[in-house]
């Protein structure tokens, strides 16, 4: 089994790694100051740890994209680069005790996205028809359709955020109304906060597997999973099934706490499936866990069960010198 340095990249939460056709791995994640978006690239995953980050976008001085830049993801769609991220106008909470994030999209038409900040331009907010707290957008393509999956608050449903899906007319515009796929309901999803967020999608064995993260961002953070066949209507919530138990969670024996907000990539052999996620190695957090910088990026292989479902195992213990 392939093993990578653990953690691979320190102080990078909400990690996203994409392996492009040019042979490079591209990495982006939330930076501790939540003030900019950076990407780095390398020929190998281990190389990402030492690659020089390139800042490609900075928060605005004021307005909707001026505070708390969270969870960027880099995608390559129809020959162009797109980054999805969440941003807020203020660090203050609203009357419901929520942050005020909305989701945004920037684009780069250059072949190499590692150029200057001038290579990236803003499409503005990705509007869902619901003007509430929203974040953690990801996209995937299937049968020539582009789908958007994200987390958002519904003021009529208890909790911070639910998971939604919609089809897109282009990479920054929704074509259909949001369809709710999941809301916090099980005990392990409502510890600290009622949360479903951080969706990630992998397509294998005739099915889509949608992982997500739940509960507060401390040691209670854990991953769940939704499953749907790839030959049915993905916008029909009744076609999706939800695991009642977490599929990946803290391992007290090895001091791995709050693993989550994952993404998927593939190893250098182009065969081994990898999960990318963040994790801490302690539970004593001073103040708000959001501002504790030590959620580190980790990468580990996972296997597939005989029934075709993923087996993520347990978080790998730290092994760096």
Residue 268 designated active-site: no
Residue 14 designated active-site: yes
Q: Which of 189, 197, 219, 292 is catalytic?
A: 197
How far apart CA 96 and CA 160 sit, in angstroms, is: 9
The phi, psi pair for 237, rounded to 5°, reads -60, -25
Cis peptide bond upstream of 293, omega within 30: no
N-to-C CA span, the chain: 20
Tell me the C-alpha to C-alpha distance, in Å, between residue 139 and each of 33, 82, 118, 198, 301. 25, 10, 24, 12, 22
Q: Which residues contact 145 (CB under 8 A, 6 or more apart)?
A: 167
Q: Which of 14, 73, 136, 218 is catalytic?
A: 14
3-state secondary structure of 101: coil
Give catalytic residue positions.
Answer: 14, 197
């Amino acid at each position: 089994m392939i093993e990578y340095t653990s953690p691979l990249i320190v102080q990078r939460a909400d990690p996203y790694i994409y392996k492009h056709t040019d042979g490079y791995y591209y990495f982006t994640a939330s930076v501790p100051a939540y003030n900019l978006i950076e990407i780095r690239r390398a020929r190998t995953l281990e190389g990402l740890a030492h690659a020089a980050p390139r800042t490609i976008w900075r928060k605005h001085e004021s307005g909707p994209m001026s505070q708390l830049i969270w969870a960027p993801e880099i995608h390559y769609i129809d020959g162009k680069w797109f980054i999805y991220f969440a941003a807020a106008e203020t660090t203050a909470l609203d009357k419901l005790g929520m942050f005020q994030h909305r989701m945004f999209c920037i684009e780069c038409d250059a072949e190499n996205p590692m150029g200057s900040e001038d290579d990236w331009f803003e499409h503005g907010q990705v509007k869902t028809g619901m003007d509430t707290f929203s974040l953690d957008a990801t996209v995937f393509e299937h049968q020539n359709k582009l789908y958007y999956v994200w987390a958002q608050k519904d003021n009529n449903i208890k909790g911070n955020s639910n998971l939604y899906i919609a089809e897109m007319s282009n990479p920054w515009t929704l074509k259909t109304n949001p369809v709710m796929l999941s809301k916090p309901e099980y005990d392990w999803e409502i510890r600290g906060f009622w949360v479903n967020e951080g969706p990630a999608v992998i397509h294998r064995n005739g099915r889509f597997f949608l992982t997500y993260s739940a509960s507060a961002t401390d040691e209670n953070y854990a991953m769940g999973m939704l499953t749907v066949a790839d030959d049915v209507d993905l916008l029909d919530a009744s076609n999706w099934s939800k695991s009642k138990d977490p599929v990946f969670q803290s391992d007290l024996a090895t001091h791995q706490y709050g693993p989550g907000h994952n993404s998927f990539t593939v190893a250098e052999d182009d065969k081994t499936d990898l999960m990318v996620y963040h994790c801490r190695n302690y539970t004593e957090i001073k103040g708000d866990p959001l501002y504790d910088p030590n959620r580190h990026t980790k990468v580990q292989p996972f296997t597939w069960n005989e029934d075709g479902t993923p087996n993520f195992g347990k978080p790998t213990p730290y092994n760096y010198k």
